Amino acid sequence: MTVLFPDEFLSRLVESLQENRELAVTVEAFPSHETYQFKGHYLSHRDVDGADVEIADRVRRRWVKSLRMLYTDAPEDVLKGFVSPPSLAVDVEVLEIFLQTPGPGAGTRLVPPADQ
């Protein structure tokens, strides 16, 4: 999995990942709040490329569209500001995936299955 990070998250990020290799990333779909956490090991990092920027732009457009129904009068620039442009791509070997959606199943490990 490749995770895109904006500048504001980079202070000591690469150094920390190179030291302990551990990373957890939480992803949420809004407004449903369906949420998953991916845990794994740092593999490598690189500067973002054009494809990464396009992916981030697509995420930003979806984010603005989902917020628009709640904040009909908010300026688009304000809504876009919640998703910063990426500057670093980090490749992660995903080892575990957990359900984090609020509710009775939150915290359940999905991958590998909990019985393994």
User: What is the tens place of the pLDDT at every residue in 21-47?
Assistant: 999 999 999 889 999 999 999 999 999
pLDDT higher than threshold 80 for residue 56: yes
* Alpha-helix runs per DSSP H in the chain: 13-20, 50-68, 76-80
Report the pLDDT value the prediction gives residue 116, as an integer from 0 to 100.
64
User: What is the tens place of the pLDDT at every residue in 4-17?
Assistant: 999 999 999 999 99
Contact partners, residue 84, CB within 8 Å, separation at least 6: 6, 7, 8
User: What is the tens place of the pLDDT at every residue in 70-95?
Assistant: 899 999 999 888 889 999 999 999 99
Calpha distance 13→46 (Å, rounded): 13
CB-CB neighbours of 19 under 10 Å = 10
Rounded (10°) CA dihedral 98, 95, 39, 57: -90
Q: Are 32 and 102 in contact (CB under 8 A)?
A: no
Cα Rg, the chain, nearest whole Å: 16
Q: Which residue(s) pair with 45 in the sheet? A: 90
Q: How confident is the model at residue 54 (pLDDT cuts 50, 70, 90)?
A: very high
